[in-house]
Structure 1
Amino acid sequence: MSDVYLKIPAIAVSQPIGDFFLCSIPAEVLLKVAYSIPARMTRDKGMFSGILFNQRAKSKARLKQIGEYIDENNSSFPNTIILSANYLEDGSYVEDESLRWHAIKENNGFFILEIPTVERLASIIDGQHRLDGFKYISKPERLKMGIPCAVFINLPRDYQARIFAIININQKRVDKSLAYQLFGYDLNESNTDKWPPDMLGVYLARILEGKKESPFEGHIRLALLEEDDDLEVNDGRKMRLEGGAIWEVSVACIVEGVTRLISAKPSADRSALASGQINYRSELGMDTSPLRELYLGGKDKTLVELITDYFVVVDELLWNGQRERSFITRTVGVLALFDVLHDALIAGKISIENMPNGARDLFQNAQGINFADDFFHASGAGRVRIRNVLKKLVGLSSKPDSIVDDAVSRLVAARNDGE
C-alpha cells in the first residue's frame, strides 16, 4: 500500500476473547478516524423495542470537565480506548481492501498498524468521553497527546456490544438493559424473526463452530491476528487438518460469507428492521442473493445444514491434505469458497435439494490443487485469485483471463505429475 495515512507500532495481545493490538494513537488522529454514536432505546407501544445506536449519550458538562483536565499540566490517560476497526457507522463491513486497517508483522515479532485513510472506520467500544473531551480543550498542543488504544480488527458488532457490557455493567451510570442490547445484537432475543442478516450470520457462526459434524468445529475464533494475507502466527492453539495443516478463521469471515448468501444489501436490511420501518425479516422482500428465501422464511436450521453439507465436501476434497501455509484454509480462501457457493447456487450448478452430491460433483476437478502456491500470495488479491481459479476449475468462469488460465494449467499439471 503506497499511500497510507498513518503507520503505528503495535503489540499483539492474545486473550480468550480473541486477539487485538495495543498501540498509541495521537488524539487528533483518533478524532478523525474514530466514531461513536449515542445509544438510545426506542419505545413501541410502551415497551423498549430496540437500540438505535451504540454508547451512552454524551454529557456536554462532563466533556467540558474532561477538557479542563486535559489542559492541566499533569494530565494523563493511562487506560486504553477500545476500538473496532473496519466497520462503517451504519454497521456494515468495509469491503474495500485498500481502506481497511491492517496489522503487519515485523521481523522483530512486533507489528505495524496501518491506517490507510482518514475515513471514520473505527468504532469506539469504550472511551468516548475521554476522546470527546479533546473537543473542549484550550491548549491545541494537547491534540498531539498519545492515547493508549486497544484495537480489534474486524470485530463483529454484537461482540463490540458484549465487550462494552462487560466493562460497564457494574457502573450505575449505565442502564443494564441498554448495555446488554447495544447495537441491536441481543442473540438471546427469542424473536429471531427480527434478526437482520449479519446478526443471523453471527448466530450461524457460533452454531458452525460448536456443531459436532461441522468442519468448522474448533476452527472459528472471535478475532485473529492473521486476518491479513501475509500474516502468519503460529501460537500452538490452532486446530490441525488431517494432513497436518493448522488453521483458524474469524467470526467476521463467517459472518461475511453467510450474509452474502442471504442478503444483497445487508446494511439496508438492518436499517429497515432497526428503524421500525418493518417489523419482521419476512417483510423485507426478495433480492438477488441465492438463499434469500430461506432467510425470509426463518429457515435457519436449513441454512446451517446447507452450509455444513457444502463445507463437509470442501473439507474432504480441498482442505484434506493441504500444506500448512495453504491459503484455502485462511480467511481469503474460506471467503472465496463462500463466493463459489454463492455463484454456483445462482448458476444452478448445485441446488439446495441435493447439496452434498452437487458440491461433490462441483469440486471433483479441483481436488488435489496446491493452494499454498505463490500465485495466491498476493496481498489484497488472494481471495479474488482463489475464487477465479476455483471457478475456472469447476466450470463457473465464462470470462477469459490469461493470468488465471495460465495459473490453472500450471497447477493442474503439477497435480497430475504428483499423482
Structure 2
Amino acid sequence: MIISAIKVKQPLGEFYIAKIKAGDLLRISTSSVARYDKDGKLKGNQRPLDPKRLKAIANFIMSDEMSFPTSILIAANIDRDGGIVEKHDDRWTVEKTNTTDVFNLVIPDKVSSLIIDGQHRLNAFNYADSSCKEIELVCSIFLDLPNPYQAYLFATINGNQKRVDKSLALELFGYDVENEPQNTWSPEKLAVYLTRKFNFSKKSPLYQKIKLAPLYSEIDEIVNREQWLLSTAAMVEGIMSLISSNPQKDRDMLAMKRNSIWGDKTRQILSNNNRPVLRYLYISSKDDELYSILEKYFWSVKTILWDNATENSVILKTIGISVLFDILKNIIEKYDIQDSYDLYINKIRDINYSSNYFALSGGGKTKLKRILKYRLGFIQKHDLQESDIKFLQGIIE
C-alpha cells in the first residue's frame, strides 16, 4: 500500500500526516496494553480496551454525525513488543515526490506499527458495520519512535483530554509530569534527558546525531546520512544499563515514596551496591559527572571509530551502540574512569565493522561483543568461537 503524506518538523522529531482507511489501518497496526512481563519489565503504553466504550463509539461511527477530525497517532516500524522492526521488507519506507514536503509512504501488508493514541476510536470499527471500514482517518505517523517517546506522547495527550491514572502515567512517562525535581528522576527520565542533551549540545560528540528518523532509506535527500548516526532508543537503553539493573523497580520506588505522607524523596532512597558501574553517580544525583564520563567516551568513539566508518558499518547501527555501552562498563570495571578513552578505542579501530560477519541476523551482536572484548583483554582466546578466530585472521571477510 502506498499513501501520500505531508512531512511535519517539530522539536520532538519529524512525522507525517496522512489519511488511511479504517480497515487498512486495522490490518497493519496493533496496540500494546501496559503490563508487566514475567521478568517484571513494563511492556506497552496503552490502557486495556473497554468493550462498553468501543460499542458506544461504534454507534457514533454509524451515525450521520460521525466525524473524527483529530489524528490517530501511529508508531510505524514498531513490532507488537515495542521493538524497532529491522527487516527491510517489513518496514515502512519513504519515497520523495516532486512536491516539497509531500512524500509517498510505502507500507507493507502486515502488522508493522503500533497505535500510540486512538486505539479505542480505531478498534470501534470492529463493532460497526463492515462498510464503515472504508471511512478515512487522519493519522500522524512517527517512524522508529522509541518506547520512551511513545509513552511520553500517550501520557501527555491523554492527560490533556481524559485523565490517565497517575501511577500509569508515572510508569509510562518516567517522571512526574507536574514538574518533578531533577534529583527524583527515574533512570528512564534521566536517560532521556541526557540523550537529548547529547543531541542538542553543540559541544557534544553526538550533536545532531540522534534522530527520530527512518533507519533505512534509499533517498539521501530525505535522510542526511552526514548528520544522522544512531537511534534515540539505543542511547536511552545504553545509559540506563549503566545506572540501573531494574529501571522499573527504581521508578516504582520513587513513585511510591512521592505519593506517601513523607512527601518527595530523592534517588538516595534507592538501593546502591555499585551495580551497575555508574549507579553511585545516579543515586547521588551527580548527573553532570555522569554526562562528562559519557562525553569523553563518545568523543573517543567518534574520532577513532565513527568518523572513519563506512555507511554500512555495524558500529553505526543499534547493535554496535549497544555493544559500545557494554564495552564502557567493562573498561570502568577493570580500569576505572579515565580522562581519555583513546587508549582502549584504538585497540579496536582496525576491526572490519562492515563485514557480513556482523549481519543483523545470526547473532551479530554476540559476535561483535566477543571480538571487542577479546581485543581489549576482557576475555581470552579460548572464549572465542572458531569463526571469530577465522574472522580475526582475515579468513572470513
The residue matched to 2:73 in structure 1 has which SS? strand
Structure 1: where are the runs of 5+ without partners? 1-7, 38-52, 241-245, 415-419
The alpha carbon displacement at 1:191 in A equals 1.1
Once residues 248 and 300 of structure 2 are traced to their aligned partners in structure 1, the CA distance between those partners, rounded to angstroms, is 31
Residue 4 (structure 1) aligns with: none
Per-residue displacement from partner, 1:192-216 (whole Å, max 9, x unpaired)? 1221111100100111112333210
Aligned pair in 2 of structure 1 residues 271, 10: CA closer, same or farther (>3 Å)? farther
Q: Give the conservation status (yes or no) of the 8 Å contact 2:3–2:106.
A: yes
Once residues 206 and 71 of structure 1 are traced to their aligned partners in structure 2, the CA distance between those partners, rounded to angstroms, is 44
Once residues 280 and 156 of structure 1 are traced to their aligned partners in structure 2, the CA distance between those partners, rounded to angstroms, is 27
Q: Give the conservation status (yes or no) of the 8 Å contact 1:197–1:266.
A: yes
**How do 1:90-105 and structure 2 match up within 5 A?**
94=83, 103=91, 105=93
Aligned pair in 2 of structure 1 residues 262, 155: CA closer, same or farther (>3 Å)? same
Aligned pair in 2 of structure 1 residues 299, 164: CA closer, same or farther (>3 Å)? same
Structure 2 counterpart of 1:15, which letter? V
**How do 1:327-406 and structure 2 match up within 5 A?**
327-346=314-333, 348=334, 350-352=335-337, 354-356=338-340, 359-379=341-361, 381-398=363-380, 399-406=383-390
Instruction: Judge which range, 267-276 or 144-153, deviates more.
Output: 144-153
The alpha carbon displacement at 1:306 in A equals 0.3
Residue 252 (structure 1) aligns with: 233
The alpha carbon displacement at 1:313 in A equals 1.0
Residue 242 (structure 2) aligns with: 261
Structure 2 counterpart of 1:130, which letter? R
**How do 1:27-42 and structure 2 match up within 5 A?**
29=26, 33-35=30-32
When the two chains are superposed, the root-mean-square deviation of aligned CA atoms in Å is: 4.7
Q: Give the conservation status (yes or no) of the 8 Å contact 2:31–2:80.
A: no
Structure 2 counterpart of 1:224, which letter? A
The alpha carbon displacement at 1:273 in A equals 2.4
Aligned length: 367
Residue 39 (structure 2) aligns with: none
Instruction: Judge which range, 304-313 or 266-275, deviates more.
Output: 266-275
Aligned pair in 2 of structure 1 residues 294, 83: CA closer, same or farther (>3 Å)? same
Pairing partner for 1:323 from 307, 310, 332: 310
Aligned pair in 2 of structure 1 residues 369, 82: CA closer, same or farther (>3 Å)? same
The residue matched to 1:247 in structure 2 has which SS? coil
Normalising by structure 2, report the TM-score.
Answer: 0.71
Per-residue displacement from partner, 1:71-95 (whole Å, max 9, x unpaired)? 4589675754213475989xxx659
Aligned pair in 2 of structure 1 residues 324, 155: CA closer, same or farther (>3 Å)? closer
Pairing partner for 2:185 from 186, 190, 195: 195
Residue 303 (structure 1) aligns with: 290
Once residues 362 and 344 of structure 2 are traced to their aligned partners in structure 1, the CA distance between those partners, rounded to angstroms, is 26
**How do 1:69-218 and structure 2 match up within 5 A?**
69-72=60-63, 80-84=71-75, 94=83, 103=91, 105=93, 111-113=106-108, 122=114, 124-131=115-122, 133-134=124-125, 137=127, 139=129, 149-156=139-146, 159-160=149-150, 163=153, 173=161, 183-185=173-175, 189-218=179-208
Structure 1 counterpart of 2:13, which letter? G
Normalising by structure 1, report the TM-score.
Answer: 0.68
The alpha carbon displacement at 1:134 in A equals 4.4
Aligned pair in 2 of structure 1 residues 386, 234: CA closer, same or farther (>3 Å)? farther
The residue matched to 2:393 in structure 1 has which SS? helix
Per-residue displacement from partner, 1:204-231 (whole Å, max 9, x unpaired)? 011111233321012112x2210x6xx6
